Amino acid sequence: MKVRLPKGSTSYRNLTDRLYIANVGPWKTVAASKNPPLKLSTWVPTSPSAKNPYAVSYNNSLPALLDLLTANTRVLALSGCSNILGEILDFRTVIESVRNHKAKLGGEHLWIVVDLVAYAPHRSIDVRKWDVDFAVFSWYKVDAST
């Protein structure tokens, strides 16, 4: 499959290489296939507490995500639920904030892709309510008939 993005596009993801490779790997492949390569940046969760730097949260790190966006950002790939942190993304708040910030920055439409592989087996999915462009997960994670 060939991914077509305008020159100068940037793509962002919120996972580090140590986490879910199924979300990270494809974006690395797409980025490397472009000339010049697309920029990949990582949304790093932070702790709201100076007393406990290990109590990190994506939901409490929204300003760090917004700082990564530019007018050239075309794709934002998010994970709906972190296996590592045990945190469920506040879709409505995060996506609404991202869409509003991107509108202020200008540029072409921002595609929001949500990886729901850890979310889908446990929660209901409402892509219209969340205002995402693509929501993906592995069917075998939710089908108990195997």
pTM of the model: 0.77
pLDDT at position 20: 60
Local structure of residue 14 (DSSP, 8 states): S
pLDDT at position 71: 92
Q: In Å, how far are 4, 56, 121, 135 from 51, measured between CA atoms?
A: 45, 12, 34, 36
Helix residue spans in the chain (DSSP H)? 21-33, 62-68, 91-105, 127-130
Residue 46 has pLDDT above 50, yes or no: yes
pLDDT at position 122: 80
Round to the nearest angstrom and report the end-to-end CA distance of the chain. Answer: 30
Mean pLDDT (the chain, rounded)? 79
| Structure confidence by residue, pLDDT tens digits, 91-146 | 899 999 999 999 999 988 999 988 888 887 788 888 899 999 988 887 766 676 65
pLDDT at position 33: 83
pLDDT at position 17: 38
Domains and CATH numbers, the chain: 26-46+54-138 (3.40.640.10)
Asked if residue 53 has a cis previous peptide bond (ω within 30° of 0), the answer is: no
Give the whole-angstrom CA distance, residue 130 versus residue 135.
10
